[in-house]
């Protein structure tokens, strides 16, 4: 049980302090009861705090929705918080139904923060037509020139609609282009196999970050341009002091290296992280394929001396910019059975 002291003069600070100590849904329920007892049970400000904490920290959407539903007229921040939570958890139907409810009520009016999440969910339920419908609502709402909305639009058109023409039109009409919008276009071209356009746009970027490099390197690897992928990786390593390769970069580069049989890249990775058994195993496999058994023995000896074999074999899979790591004979992932079934069907047994 959480012990509640009498509220301080600044109730807001008091509630925030209690929220920081909440680590279970029962604690949040006690806080809600505390606010009801003080006559603030249906105050929009505190309801928003509870909903946000419930969706982000506790990831309990049903309880967050119960708080939301007990409000007579939720404000736009509450609608945005709930739509964002549903969209982030891939409950796209619930996100759209709630957004539709807000539109039908005609109050509150949507803000520009809600549209990126609506654009993420709409195509999943309604297909490409969904993006077009939301685009129309964005124009009517007066948010068509907001960079965050424009970036979400071009990403939706390229990712879900495979409509690079409209995506490029949105991009060209942007008054402010940041690295995120540039990367979205690079990813869009790469996703549809337009690597010439992807690389050209990448080279035109005024500034780049790691996701931008990952987009073009992954695009080259996925489209069979393995030498180009490795060349870009080398360029990133040698020229980009502020953009060091991350796990996604390494996965894509290792995949390209495996297809070309080139050794220098893997050697470099082993030098950078000698205790990572995955890199050493990759190098050993390349030597095996080349029939260089003396080199295989040297690598395995080095791995043993570095105690690198403590790390079991693992695979990395990237989904929605998040890398999931699976170890050999690993059953710890919550969706292990489903994942291994799919991998077996794809021929990765």
What string of DSSP letters covers 2-30? PPPPPPPS-HHHHHHHHHHH--SHHHHHH
Three-class SS of residue 322?
strand
pLDDT tens-digit series, residues 78-127:
999 999 999 999 999 999 999 999 999 998 999 999 999 999 999 899 98
283: pLDDT strictly greater than 90: no
Summarised one tens digit per residue, pLDDT across range 116-131 is 999 999 989 998 899 9
| Residue recorded with tokens 């009861």 | 33
Distance separating alpha carbons of residues 182 and 204, to the nearest angstrom: 9
Nearest to 265 by CA among 250, 276, 247: 250
CA 326/CA 317 separation, integer angstroms? 8
At residue 222, does pLDDT exceed 80? yes
Q: What is the DSSP string of 272-317?
A: H-TT-HHHHHHHHHHHHHHT-HHHHHHHHHHHHHTTGGGSPPEEEE
pLDDT digits (tens, 9 = 90+) for 246-270: 877 877 777 677 667 666 656 766 6
- Mean pLDDT over each residue of the chain, to the nearest integer: 81
**Residue among 319, 323, 342, 231 nearest 278 (CA):** 323
CB atoms within 10 A of CB 265: 23
Task: Report the C-alpha gap between 291 and 67 in whole angstroms.
Answer: 65
Q: Which value, to the nearest 10 degrees, does the dihedral of the CA atoms of residues 28, 32, 37, 43 take?
A: 150
pTM: 0.70
Give the whole-angstrom CA distance, residue 155 versus residue 134: 13
298 pLDDT higher than 80: yes
The whole-number pLDDT of residue 310 equals 44
């Amino acid at each position: 049980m959480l012990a509640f002291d009498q509220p301080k003069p600044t109730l807001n600070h008091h509630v925030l302090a209690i929220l920081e100590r909440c680590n279970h849904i029962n604690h949040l329920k006690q806080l809600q009861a505390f606010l009801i007892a003080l006559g603030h049970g249906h105050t929009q400000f505190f309801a928003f705090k509870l909903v946000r904490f419930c969706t982000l920290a506790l990831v309990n959407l049903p309880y967050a929705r119960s708080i939301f539903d007990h409000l007579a007229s939720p404000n736009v921040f509450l609608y945005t918080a709930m739509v964002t939570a549903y969209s982030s958890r891939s409950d796209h139907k619930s996100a759209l139904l709630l957004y539709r409810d807000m539109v039908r009520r005609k109050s509150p009016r949507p803000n520009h923060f809600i549209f990126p999440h609506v654009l993420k969910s709409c195509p999943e339920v309604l297909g490409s037509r969904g993006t077009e419908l939301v685009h129309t609502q964005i124009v009517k709402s007066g948010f068509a020139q907001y960079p965050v909305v424009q970036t979400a639009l071009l990403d939706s058109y390229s990712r879900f609609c495979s409509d690079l023409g409209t995506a490029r039109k949105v991009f060209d009409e942007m008054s402010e282009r940041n690295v995120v919008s540039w990367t979205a276009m690079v990813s869009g071209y790469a996703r549809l196999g337009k690597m010439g356009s992807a690389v050209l746009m990448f080279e035109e970027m005024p500034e780049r970050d790691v996701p931008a490099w990952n987009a073009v390197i992954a695009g080259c690897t996925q489209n069979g341009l393995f030498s180009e992928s490795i060349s870009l990786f080398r360029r990133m390593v040698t020229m980009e002091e502020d953009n060091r390769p991350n796990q996604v970069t390494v996965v894509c580069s290792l995949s390209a290296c495996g297809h070309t049989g080139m050794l220098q890249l893997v050697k470099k990775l082993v030098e950078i992280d000698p205790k990572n058994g995955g890199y050493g195993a990759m190098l050993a496999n390349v030597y095996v394929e080349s029939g260089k058994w003396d080199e295989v023995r040297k690598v395995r000896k080095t791995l043993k001396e570095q105690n690198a074999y403590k790390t079991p074999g693992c695979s990395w899979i990237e989904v929605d910019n998040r890398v999931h790591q699976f170890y050999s004979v690993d059953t710890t992932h919550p969706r292990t059975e489903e994942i291994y079934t799919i991998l077996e069907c794809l021929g990765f047994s």
